[in-house]
């Protein structure tokens, strides 16, 4: 008669030999499968005398249970081993230093632009934009700038391809062309009111943006930033300009100890024209007049180019240097710092 203990020992040895779940299932078949050794023993039972059948059957069952227990134990051991391998492979070294992501921030000129938009927004000004490649018409002619005006000199701006020989395209030298562009759109929108002899809603807009001139030193760069302001209505005068600009500049610098003055000047597109100077009543710049803006009452020819009757409509405009305002606000003494892209400088504004 076959030794059941030996069969169980053989099974345990075979299971231990199995190094993978697949090998283990093969070994299982040899003992517990249809053609396996336990199944064969069961079949042999039939040939035994009745009095031995019962006890032999019980012994075979015990052996079968022992083999099944060994199988389960080995299965678990193999699964555990597999898990361990996976855990090892995917292990995180929590003592490694993390990869740092430097915090970014806005450029100081962008910070100023956002401030300017917010302050004028609170006064009911919308924000408009225009192209940086501009036509001769919008940059000069529509702004009442005669053809022999020095601003048209090749030395004062960058001409680019396009346009005509007599009126080439150029990089805009100021944000003033957007006065015309915006006003023409506005007037088009309200043409029906104007034609019906009614009052159109006022034009109240600021235009921040990049401008270009052939200029480069500690206080001038070939690309710089301006913000244009334009308010046109039926009853808008220089005194409105004064109160709006004073409110703006005091909000921008967060002080009431700041005065402004208008100094007579000339621009083809305003009449009368003035430079706006500001003076701080305290701080390192106390007591010095600093020029920050051109300004004036919109010239009748410009009002006409906007599509409006200068007998009915009047307004003011200004164009301020955003870079200059930013330098004053943060105490920056060299304009070129804004364009060097040096993070040691820029990170101070985060």
Sites of contact with ligand PHE (CB under 6 A)? 174, 176, 267, 270, 273, 294-296, 317-319
Q: What is the C-alpha to C-alpha distance for residues 250 and 257, in angstroms, rounded to an integer?
A: 8
- Minimal distance, residue 96 CB to ligand PHE, in Å: 55
- Minimal distance, residue 126 CB to ligand PHE, in Å: 17
- Minimal distance, residue 297 CB to ligand PHE, in Å: 9
The residues, ordered by sequence, that sit 6+ positions from 74 with a Cβ below 8 Å of its Cβ are 15, 16, 18, 24
Phi, psi of 261 (to 5 degrees): -140, 155
Smaller CB distance to ligand PHE: residue 30 or 265? 265
Smaller CB distance to ligand PHE: residue 156 or 202? 156
- Minimal distance, residue 323 CB to ligand PHE, in Å: 13
Q: What is the C-alpha to C-alpha distance for residues 42 and 44, in angstroms, rounded to an integer?
A: 5
Smaller CB distance to ligand PHE: residue 18 or 327? 327
Burial label for 288, CB within 10 Å (0-12, 13-18, 19+), is exposed
- Minimal distance, residue 98 CB to ligand PHE, in Å: 49
Smaller CB distance to ligand PHE: residue 259 or 291? 291
Smaller CB distance to ligand PHE: residue 267 or 280? 267
> Which contiguous run of DSSP H or E holds residue 274?
strand 270-280
Position with the least CB separation from ligand PHE: 319
User: Of 142, 20, 1, whose CA–CA distance to 74 is shortest?
Assistant: 20
CB 113 within 8 A of CB 129: no
């Amino acid at each position: 008669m076959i030794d059941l203990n030996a069969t169980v020992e053989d099974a345990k040895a075979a299971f231990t030999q199995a190094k993978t779940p697949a090998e283990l299932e093969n070994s299982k078949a040899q003992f517990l499968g249809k053609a396996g050794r336990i199944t064969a023993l069961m079949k042999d039972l039939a040939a035994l005398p009745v009095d031995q059948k019962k006890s032999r059957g019980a012994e075979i069952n015990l052996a079968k249970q022992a083999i099944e227990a060994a199988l389960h134990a080995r299965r678990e051991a193999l699964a555990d081993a597999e898990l361990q391998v996976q855990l090892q492979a995917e292990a995180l070294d929590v003592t490694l230093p993390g990869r740092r992501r430097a915090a970014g921030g806005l450029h100081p000129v962008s910070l100023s632009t956002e401030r300017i938009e917010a302050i004028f927004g609170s006064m009911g000004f919308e924000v408009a934009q225009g192209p940086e490649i501009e036509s001769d018409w919008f940059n000069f002619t529509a702004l009442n700038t005669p053809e022999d005006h020095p601003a048209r000199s090749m030395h004062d701006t960058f001409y680019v391809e396009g346009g005509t020989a007599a009126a080439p395209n150029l990089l805009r030298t100021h944000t003033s062309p957007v006065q015309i562009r915006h006003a023409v759109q506005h007037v088009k929108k309200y043409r029906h009111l104007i034609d019906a002899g009614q009052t159109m809603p006022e034009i109240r807009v600021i235009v921040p943006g990049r401008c270009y001139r052939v200029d480069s030193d500690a206080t001038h760069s070939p690309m710089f930033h301006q913000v244009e302001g334009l308010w046109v209505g039926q009853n808008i005068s220089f005194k409105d300009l004064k109160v709006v600009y004073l409110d703006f500049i005091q909000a921008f610098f967060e002080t009431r100890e700041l005065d402004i003055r208008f100094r007579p000047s000339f621009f083809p597109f305003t009449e009368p024209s003035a430079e706006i100077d500001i003076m701080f009543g305290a701080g390192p710049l106390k007591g010095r007049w600093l020029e920050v803006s051109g300004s004036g009452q919109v010239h009748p020819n410009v009002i006409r180019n906007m599509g409006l009757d200068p007998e009915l409509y009047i307004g003011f405009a200004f164009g301020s240097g955003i870079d200059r305002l930013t330098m004053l606000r943060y105490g920056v003494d060299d304009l070129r710092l804004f364009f060097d892209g040096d993070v040691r400088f820029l990170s101070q504004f985060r």
